[in-house]
Amino acid sequence: MPKSSKLPMAAVLVLAAGFFALFVNGSGRLAVGLTLRPMVEDLKWNRADIGSAVAVFQVVSAIAMFFAGRLADRVSLRLLIASGVVVCAFGIGMMGFVSEPWHVLLLFGLIYGVGNAGCSTPTVGVMVARTFPGNTGFANGFVTSGMSLGQLLIVAVLAAVLVQIGWRSVYFWVAAAHLALLPLIYFAVPAHSGNGSLAAQAPREGMSLREAARTRRFWVLISVFAVCGLDDFFVTTHLVAYAEDSGVSQLFAGNLLAVMGLAALIGVLLAGAFGDKTGPVMPTIASFVLRIACFGLLLIDSSTISIAVFTLVFGLTFLVTAPLTVLFVRDAFGMKHLGAISGLITMVHHTFGGIGAYAGAVIFDANGSYAIAFAIMLASSVLAVALMLLYQPRPKESPVAA
């Protein structure tokens, strides 16, 4: 952030809007992981019934994020984000009435998936990057920490609600949290595609999506973000159920996601700050090295202590790539098509997240254990480290060269 003067009020409002949008944004996805086991037991379903809905959500939101990113380059961010919030509130709120697996596919997988894209990291990242061109990493780390803090606070509250009055009420409260965002979005988010003089500070030259796709750098990033999504959404969907299967109490297991959110809060702030100083490559490599260690731990030992250590260590890496996405895209391909390119990368991340969530459910239903899934996640993290070691940052003298 600028050190010589106070931030303009418009910039403060942008930070607040981005922070609270992401604060609420992740709560719906996490609510499904939190309620997975009680829903299955109450409705007499298989875990794959909900895992398939999470997979559909990941694919739908992923595709929608690409289009949301393209729209963020062209239309009113206020309209885009507010529309996403309203659609999210409807889809997640109606989850409290489901009685058949196809209801979850429709409400969570399709409707919530589309709405989620409008108020997620690609659109918020574009808004913040335009406002803070000199400190993009830290500013995006700050707003992404809203997602982590939301995971800490909202999930802790929802875990208590789940124990007291049941899983259906969880979804009503998540819908209410989305609707509460609307006044802030109206007053804080710019009504136009830019942000006045603040946006003018950010250069808008850069490669098109088609030009970027011709570079090796682009495909390395696509592959690394695919692995990241595979890991992220496997863990957030199945960690609570895995802990309960291992003998941990329901309340303690539910709060594991909240603890992960606390660790993620620290992780995204550190990643954003270091990303501004060193570039995004080193924080990304460090993140995957930690994942290799914590997946290996659970393959060796599934005790309560090991699960708690896993939660903290993985939490430090969870969401780390979110503030780094705009840094990778800005440094490699420029600002002109930041929304479209970052939206596509996020689309791949979430698509593979759906694969991770669904594969975890299928593997458990087939084997009664998550061991094979944890081994796959470990191997994929090793692959991500190898790919990042091959990544070649652009030459300093060529802002958008391949």
Residue 201 lies in a domain: yes
Which residues neighbour 6 within 8 Å (Cβ) at sequence distance 6 or greater?
none
> Which amino acid is it at 345?
I
Residue 199 lies in a domain: yes
Query: What SS3 class is residue 206?
Result: strand
Contact 268, 152 (CB under 8 A): no
Q: What one-character-per-residue DSSP string does 247-290 give?
A: T--HHHHHHHHHHHHHHHHHHHHHHHHHHHHH-SHHHHHHHHHH
Q: Cα separation of 282 and 143, whole Å? A: 21
Residue 400 included in any domain: no
Q: Which residues contact 386 (CB under 8 A, 6 or more apart)?
A: none
Residue 159 lies in a domain: yes
Residue 341 in any domain: the answer is: yes
List, in sequence order, the alpha helices (H) in 95-215.
Answer: 101-104, 113-118, 121-131, 136-165, 167-179, 182-188, 196-200, 209-212
pTM of the model: 0.72
pLDDT tens string for the chain (402 positions)? 444 456 678 888 888 998 999 888 877 777 887 888 889 889 988 888 888 888 788 788 888 988 888 888 778 888 999 999 999 999 999 999 999 999 999 999 999 999 998 888 888 888 888 777 767 777 888 887 887 777 677 777 887 778 787 889 889 988 998 999 999 998 888 775 544 444 444 455 778 888 989 999 999 999 999 999 999 989 988 998 899 888 887 778 877 877 887 888 888 888 888 888 888 999 999 999 999 999 999 999 988 899 999 999 999 998 788 888 888 988 888 877 888 888 889 889 878 887 888 899 899 989 988 999 999 999 999 999 999 998 877 655 444 443
SS3 296: helix
Q: Could you count the other beta carbons within 10 Å of the beta carbon of residue 191?
A: 10
Asked if residue 398 belongs to a domain, the reply is no
Give the domain range for residue 322.
Answer: 9-390
Query: What is the CATH classification number for the domain harbouring 261?
Result: 1.20.1250.20
397 in a domain, yes or no? no
Classify residue 45 by its DSSP letter: -
Number of domains in the chain: 1
- For the residues of 225-238, what is the DSSP string, one character each? HHHHHHHHHHHHHH
Is 212 inside any structural domain? yes
